[in-house]
Amino acid sequence: MDYYAIDYTVNQYLASIGFYVLAVNYRLGIGYGYEFHKPANAGATGASEYQDIKAAGEWLSAQPGVDARRIGIYGGSYGGYLTAMALSHDSGLFAAGVDIHGVHKWAKLVTTGEPAPDAVQAAKVALQSSPVSWVDSWKSPVLIIHADDDRNVAFSQSVDLIRRFDVKGVPYEYLSIPDDTHHWMKFSNAVRVSEATAEFLKRKLLP
């Protein structure tokens, strides 16, 4: 789809100006069997897929020619969620990032009738699997990008995270895209987001 094609164009551009670029096919993806696609303790039940992102960053930091102090991360939607997890959990590894309409707090499941026996525990795990629970350890600068008519991830998710940044003093920049959705219905907005992503990473990471 065009969303991913545009992201890979950004990857090509970053590589052309001197970045080493690694695109991670983290667990939850398809093509590697059921256990890879449906891993235990993923997402709101423990964020186990984040271990793939951390492992990729650690592998990259050990490669010849890579400055381990200048590893960045960016992603959109679920990739935005994993970017936020990386910056909040491992600021010592990931020096800066761009979080594009990522999930920052897993919503409570709405149920009817009697709650599940483990509903309280599930809500606790979901919160611990959310970047908002880790703002205290978030040290790396981040660019938050979100469209205000997003129907997939609520715009308020980013607004809430930024308010938490203000309280904790986390360094951030913010780009709001007016009158657009999760998938950049206007091509000009897709270009704008790509340019802002590359510019931020260049400014924060290139020597």
Cα–Cα distance list, 111 to 46, 48, 116, 153 (Å): 21, 25, 9, 20
Alpha-carbon gap, residue 48 to 126, rounded angstroms: 12
62 confidence band (pLDDT: 50, 70, 90): very high
167 confidence band (pLDDT: 50, 70, 90): very high
Rounded mean pLDDT of 6-22?
96
In this structure, are residues 158 and 75 in contact, taking their beta carbons and an 8 Å threshold?
no
For every residue of 31-74, DSSP letters joined together read SS-HHHHS-TT-GGGT-TTHHHHHHHHHHHHTSTT--TT--EEE
- The tally of CA atoms less than 13 A away on the side-chain side of residue 25 is 6
- In tens, the pLDDT along 114-125 reads 777 888 888 999
CATH superfamily of 2-205: Alpha/Beta hydrolase fold, catalytic domain (3.40.50.1820)
Helix, strand, coil shares, percent, the chain, to 5: 45, 10, 45
What is the SS3 assignment for 207? coil
- As given in the structure block, the two tokens for residue 38 are 């449906």
Provide the residue ranges of all domains of the chain, joining segments of one domain with +.
2-205
What per-residue confidence (pLDDT) applies to 108?
61
Check whether 193 has a pLDDT greater than 80. yes
- In tens, the pLDDT along 21-57 reads 999 999 999 999 999 999 999 999 999 999 999 999 9
What per-residue confidence (pLDDT) applies to 92?
97
What per-residue confidence (pLDDT) applies to 116?
79
E-assigned strand segments in the chain: 72-76, 96-100, 142-147, 172-177
In this structure, are residues 71 and 80 in contact, taking their beta carbons and an 8 Å threshold?
no
